[in-house]
């Protein structure tokens, strides 16, 4: 079994609900607190399992913003596990989830340097590495209703852009969706075989712009003035 996420880049709206739900659930979970640094200061930062990048692709009027959530991909050939000198990083045989034993980790950063996806973060408060656990303490909690036994990010996504399941089973919902939508893994040329899969944005028709009113000379002057005025 290979548990993982399928993320639909066509429907992700970049709202960060997955990231905040992840932080809320995991702040007291398997890896302990996800530290915040200077949370009420001018430049707050902290440890996150999920981060969302935003990219603008294409040229106007055929351009599009792509929101790209990133977390640990739970690679089949996880180099972060191979390089760990203390055995803190492990890949579980029973479900493929990659975890970090907080009691063994010494925060040497080797796993972070080995991960090409930037999925690991050093918690400066605990001095240990932290990463996505796929909410392992939630998905196996039999006291939760079955529909709740999913990662917090999946449950929180308002656009239903995230799915969770066994990607080794081609007949599973996630396996069928990846096959039908042409899902892909990141940087397959590296040979790490990430479990998490991404569904590409669908092609859309460009928005017609020929009938839009052309800016007048006055409008152009106003636009130029707004650019040079320091507001």
Residue ranges of domains in the chain: 3-199
According to DSSP, residue 194 is labeled -
Give residue 230's pLDDT: 64
In this predicted model, what pLDDT tens digit does every residue of 169-194 receive, in sequence order?
A: 999 999 999 999 999 999 999 999 99
Alpha-carbon span 71 to 22, nearest angstrom: 10
Give residue 21's pLDDT: 97
Alpha-carbon span 79 to 112, nearest angstrom: 10
User: How would you classify the pairing of strands 89-91 and 98-100?
Assistant: antiparallel
Give residue 203's pLDDT: 77
Q: Please name the fold of domain 3-199.
A: Alpha-Beta Plaits (3.30.70)
Alpha-carbon span 161 to 197, nearest angstrom: 12
Give residue 105's pLDDT: 98
In this predicted model, what pLDDT tens digit does every residue of 49-70 receive, in sequence order?
A: 999 999 998 888 788 899 999 9
Residues of the chain with pLDDT under 70: 230-231
Give residue 231's pLDDT: 59
Helix-strand-coil split of the chain, %, nearest 5:
25, 20, 55
Give residue 217's pLDDT: 85
Give residue 25's pLDDT: 95
Give residue 214's pLDDT: 80
Q: How far is CA 35 from CA 17, 47, 129, 153, 227, in A?
A: 18, 6, 12, 19, 40
Give residue 137's pLDDT: 95
């Amino acid at each position: 079994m290979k548990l993982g996420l399928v993320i639909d880049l066509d429907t992700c709206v970049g709202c960060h609900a997955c990231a905040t739900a992840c932080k809320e659930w995991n702040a007291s979970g398997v890896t302990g607190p996800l530290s915040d640094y200077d949370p009420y200061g001018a430049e707050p930062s902290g440890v996150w399992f999920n981060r969302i990048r935003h990219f603008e692709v294409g040229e106007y009027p055929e351009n599009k913003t792509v929101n790209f959530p990133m977390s640990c991909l739970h690679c089949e050939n996880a180099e972060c596990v191979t390089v760990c000198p203390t055995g803190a990083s492990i890949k579980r045989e029973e479900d493929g989830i990659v975890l970090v034993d907080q009691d063994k980790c010494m925060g040497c950063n080797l796993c972070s340097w080995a991960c090409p996806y930037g999925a690991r973060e050093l918690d400066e408060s605990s001095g240990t590495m932290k990463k996505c656990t796929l909410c392992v303490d939630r998905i196996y909690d039999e006291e939760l209703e079955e529909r709740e036994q999913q990662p917090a990010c999946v449950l929180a996504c308002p656009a239903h852009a995230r799915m969770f399941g066994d990607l080794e089973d081609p007949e599973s919902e996630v396996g069928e969706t990846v096959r039908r939508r042409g899902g892909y893994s990141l940087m397959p040329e590296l040979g790490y075989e990430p479990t998490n899969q991404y569904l590409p944005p669908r092609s859309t028709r460009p928005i017609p712009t020929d009938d839009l009113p052309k800016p007048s000379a006055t409008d152009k002057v106003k636009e130029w003035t707004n650019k040079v005025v320091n507001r």
